[in-house]
C-alpha cells in the first residue's frame, strides 16, 4: 500500500508521521520542492520507528514524481500557510499554481490515485485539483470538516468536562468563517448536546470553532498542523482500509442540498473508491440559509480561480 504526501512542511510531515506510526500505509513517499527537506523529514520519521515500534517506511524525495508512481492515495499539502492578519482566501494566487502543477505531476505517475487536498483556501484548491486532474468527483476530496468538527468536539469536551471520545458532531459548508456547525446533530454519549450545554455557551463554542484556524494562527504566527495532519491521515485510513466511515469532507455537490457545481463540506461515506455516497441531511430553514451563505462565499472564490485561469 503506497501513499504519497506532497509538501513536507508542518502538515505534510505530520500526516506522513501518523501514516507511518499507525501503520496505515506500508510505503509512504514524502515529496517537497525544497532540496533535501523531505529526505530529512522522512529519515527522522524512520529513525523514530524503533522507538514507537512500527515498520512502515517513509521515503523522502525532492520533486521526483517518478518515485511516487503507483500511489493509491496522494495527499496534497504543498502551498503557503497564512500569517496573522491574512484570510485563507488571500493564499489563492500562490497556492493555485502550486496545487495545479503538483496535481498534474501526481496524475501523470498515479493515474488511479485518490487525491486528498489540504492546501488553502481548501474548497477552491479542491476544485483546482479536480480541474487539473480531470478525475471524477469521488476521487478528489478536500480535508477540512474532520478538523473543524474535531475543534468543535474538543471545545465541547472542555465545556462538559468529558472525554472528547464521547462527542459526535457534524458540520457543513466551506472551510472558513461561514462553516455551519450543526448542534442538532451533536450528541455526547448519545445525549443531545442541547441537554448538556446552555444555548449561550453552545453559541460561543460554535463561534470559536468558526475562528479555530485563526485562533491558532494568531498564537503561533503560522497555521496549525497536528490536528490537520492527523485529519488527513484519518481520511487516508478510511480509504485504504475501505472502512466506509461517515466523515465530513469537501466534495463537488451535484444537486445534493439543492446545490450544483460548488465544492462544500458535507457528510459522506469514505471507502476504497473515495467518496462512495454523499449523505443528505434534512436541514431546517435556518441551517439551509447558513449553508447557502457558505455556498455563495465559496462560489465567489471559485469564480476568482476561473478568472485567473481565463487570464493565464
Ligand atoms: N485544509 C485544512 O484544514 C488545512 C489545515 C492546515 C493547513 N492547511 C493548509 O495546508 C498548507 C500547508 O501548510 P503547512 O503549515 O504545512 O505549510 P508549510 O510551509 O509548513 O509547508 C508547505 C510545504 O510545501 C512545500 N511546497 C511549496 N511548493 C511546492 C511544490 N510546488 N511542490 C512541492 N512542495 C511544495 C514547501 O516547500 C513547504 O515545505 C497551507 O496552504 C495551509 O493553509 C489547510
Ligand atoms: O487557518 C488556517 O489558515 C489553516 C487551516 O485552515 C486551519 O483551519 O487550521
CB 205, CB 199: distance < 8 Å: no
* Residue numbers annotated as active site: 175
* Helix runs in the chain, H state only: 10-21, 37-47, 49-52, 92-109, 122-133, 145-160, 199-210, 212-220, 226-240, 285-311
Rg for the chain, CA atoms, rounded: 19
| 228 CB near ligand 2 (under 6 Å) | yes
Ligand 2 pocket test, pick from 154, 224, 298 with the greatest ligand atom count within 8 Å of Cβ, gives 224
Q: What is the mean pLDDT of residues 133-147?
A: 98
Q: Where are the domains of the chain?
A: 2-142, 145-306
So what's the pLDDT on residue 312? 81
pTM comes to 0.98
Chain-centre distance for alpha carbon 288: 23
Q: Is the pLDDT of residue 112 over 90?
A: yes
In tens, the pLDDT along 214-245 reads: 999 999 999 999 999 999 999 999 999 999 99
In tens, the pLDDT along 282-299 reads: 999 999 999 999 999 999
Ligand 1 center from residue 13 Cα (angstroms): 10
Q: What is the mean pLDDT of residues 66-80?
A: 98
Burial class (CB in 10 A: 0-12, 13-18, 19+), 74: buried
Q: Is ipTM > 0.90 here? A: yes
Q: What is the mean pLDDT of residues 24-53?
A: 98
Please compute, for residue 201, the number of CA atoms within 13 A of its CA located in the half-sphere on the CB side. 12
- Helix, coil or strand: residue 197: coil
Nearest atom within ligand 2 for CA of residue 81? 3
Ligand 1 pocket test, pick from 81, 235, 249 with the greatest ligand atom count within 8 Å of Cβ, gives 81
So what's the pLDDT on residue 130? 98
Q: Which ligand is nearest to the CA of 211?
A: 2
CATH domain 145-306 topology: L-2-Hydroxyisocaproate Dehydrogenase; Chain A, domain 2 (3.90.110)
Q: Which ligand is nearest to the CA of 235?
A: 1
CB 222, CB 81: distance < 8 Å: yes
Band of residue 311 on the pLDDT scale cut at 50, 70, 90: confident
From 2.40.30.260, 3.40.50.720, 2.130.10.10, 3.40.1280.10, which CATH number describes the 2-142 domain? 3.40.50.720
Amino acid at each position: 500500500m503506497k501513499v504519497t504526501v506532497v509538501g513536507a512542511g508542518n502538515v505534510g510531515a505530520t500526516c506522513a508521521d501518523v501514516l507511518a506510526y499507525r501503520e496505515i500505509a506500508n510505503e509512504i513517499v514524502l515529496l517537497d520542492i525544497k532540496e533535501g527537506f523531505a529526505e530529512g523529514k522522512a529519515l527522522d520519521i524512520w529513525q523514530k520507528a524503533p522507538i514507537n515500534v512500527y515498520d512502515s517506511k517513509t521515503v523522502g524525495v525532492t520533486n521526483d514524481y517518478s518515485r511516487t508512481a503507483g500511489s493509491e492515495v496522494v495527499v496534497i499539502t504543498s502551498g503557503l500557510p497564512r500569517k496573522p492578519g491574512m484570510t485563507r482566501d488571500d493564499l489563492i494566487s500562490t497556492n493555485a499554481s502550486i496545487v495545479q502543477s503538483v496535481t498534474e505531476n501526481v496524475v501523470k505517475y498515479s493515474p488511479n490515485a485518490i487525491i486528498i487536498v489540504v492546501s488553502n483556501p481548501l474548497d477552491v484548491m479542491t476544485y483546482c485539483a479536480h480541474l487539473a486532474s480531470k478525475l471524477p468527483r469521488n476521487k478528489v476530496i478536500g480535508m477540512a470538516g474532520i478538523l473543524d468538527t474535531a475543534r468543535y468536539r474538543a471545545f465541547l469536551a472542555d465545556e462538559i468536562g468529558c472525554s472528547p471520545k464521547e462527542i459526535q458532531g457534524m458540520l457543513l459548508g466551506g472551510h472558513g468563517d461561514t462553516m455551519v456547525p450543526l448542534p442538532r446533530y451533536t450528541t455526547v454519549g448519545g445525549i443531545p448536546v442541547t441537554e448538556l450545554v446552555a444555548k449561550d455557551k453552545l453559541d460561543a463554542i460554535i463561534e470559536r470553532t468558526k475562528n479555530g484556524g485563526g485562533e491558532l494562527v494568531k498564537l503561533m504566527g503560522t497555521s496549525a498542523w497536528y490536528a490537520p495532519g492527523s485529519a488527513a491521515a484519518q481520511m487516508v485510513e478510511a480509504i485504504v482500509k475501505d472502512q466506509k466511515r461517515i466523515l465530513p469532507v469537501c466534495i463537488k455537490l451535484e444537486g445534493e442540498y439543492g446545490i450544483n457545481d460548488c465544492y462544500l463540506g458535507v457528510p459522506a461515506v469514505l471507502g476504497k473508491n473515495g467518496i462512495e455516497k454523499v449523505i443528505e441531511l434534512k436541514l431546517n430553514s435556518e441551517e439551509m440559509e447558513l449553508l447557502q451563505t457558505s455556498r455563495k462565499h465559496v462560489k465567489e472564490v471559485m469564480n476568482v480561480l476561473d478568472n485567473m485561469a481565463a487570464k493565464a
